[in-house]
A and B are shown apart, each in its own frame.
Chain A
Amino acid sequence: DAKTTQPPSMDCAEGRAANLPCNHSTISGNEYVYWYRQIHSQGPQYIIHGLKNNETNEMASLIITEDRKSSTLILPHATLRDTAVYYCIVSPGERGQGGKLIFGQGTELSVKP
C-alpha cells in the first residue's frame, strides 16, 4: 500500500478554514484517497474520499492535485468540535473488495477560540 505523510499537528482559529495537507507521492492508479478523523475517546469517523476529481460533501472538501501525489482536506468553517486527529489514507479499491485501510499517525488538529 502507498504511504502518506502528514504534519503531526496543526492549529486553526474557530470559524476559519482548516486546510490539512497530505502527501502520497507513491500512489498508484487504482488507489483512492480516504480521510477519517478521530475525536478523543471515540472510534474513527469517515469524512470523505476521492480518486482523482475534487469532492465535496456536508462535512468537507477534498482537493487532489492533478498528478495525485498530494491532497488537501478542507473544513470550510472549523468549529471547536472539529478538534481531532485527521487521518489521510490511500488504499486500493479493487472491484468487489472494500480493501483494508492502514492508518498512519495522522494530523492532530486543534481548533482554538
Chain B
Amino acid sequence: GAGVSQSPSNKVTEKGKDVELRCDPISGHTALYWYRQSLGQGLEFLIYFQGNSAPDKSGLPSDRFSAERTGGSVSTLTIQRTQQEDSAVYLCASSFNRINYGYTFGSGTRLTVV
C-alpha cells in the first residue's frame, strides 16, 4: 500500500483481556517501530525491528507487552492481561534502512481498556 496501515483503528477491551494490534509497513521498508501515546502526552518508544537483527525491546513497559515481525513485513503488538493504564494510541512507523531517512507513521490504534 501507499502508507503504513494499522488495524483495528479503535479497540475497546475489558481489563484482563489480551489484545493484538497489527501493523502493515510500507513495502520495502526494513525498519519498523512501535510507539504509544497516552492522552495529552508525547510519544513513548516501545520496540524497534531492523531487518533480521534482534529487535530493540528497551521501551517495552512490562513483560505483558510483546511484539513480533513475521517475514520482515507485518508486525503484531500483543498486550496480555490489559490494564487501564494501557489505554493509549499505539502508533507504528516504518522506514528504509538508511542512515538519514525519515519515518512514515500510520494513523494508530486507539486502545481503550474498560
Bound together: yes
What is the interface size of chain B, counting residues whose CB is below 8 A from a CB of the partner? 28
Cα distance, A51 to B100, chains bound together (Å): 9
Nearest chain B CB to A102 CB, angstrom units: 6
The yes or no answer to B42 lying at the interface (CB within 8 A) is yes
Partner of A93, one of B31, B100, B107: B100
The yes or no answer to B99 lying at the interface (CB within 8 A) is yes
Interface core residue of A32, A38, A97, A104 (most chain B CB under 10 Å):
A97
The yes or no answer to B65 lying at the interface (CB within 8 A) is no
The yes or no answer to B88 lying at the interface (CB within 8 A) is no
Known contacts A32-B100, A93-B100; A100 and B33 CB within 8 A of each other: yes
Q: Is the CB of A49 within 8 A of B93?
A: no
Cα distance, A32 to B95, chains bound together (Å): 16
Partner of B99, one of A87, A94, A100: A94
- Identify 18 residue pairs between A and B in the complex whose beta-carbon atoms are under 8 Å apart, listed by A's number: A36-B102, A42-B107, A43-B106, A43-B108, A46-B103, A49-B100, A49-B102, A51-B100, A93-B99, A97-B31, A97-B97, A98-B99, A98-B101, A98-B103, A100-B59, A101-B45, A103-B42, A103-B44
B-to-A contact residues, CB < 8 Å: 4, 31, 33, 35, 42-45, 48, 50, 56, 59, 91, 93, 95-108
Q: Apart from A51-B100, A100-B56, what are 18 other A-B pairs with CB-CB below 8 Å?
A: A32-B100, A44-B43, A44-B91, A44-B93, A44-B103, A46-B104, A87-B43, A93-B100, A94-B99, A96-B97, A98-B99, A98-B101, A100-B33, A100-B59, A101-B103, A102-B45, A103-B44, A106-B42
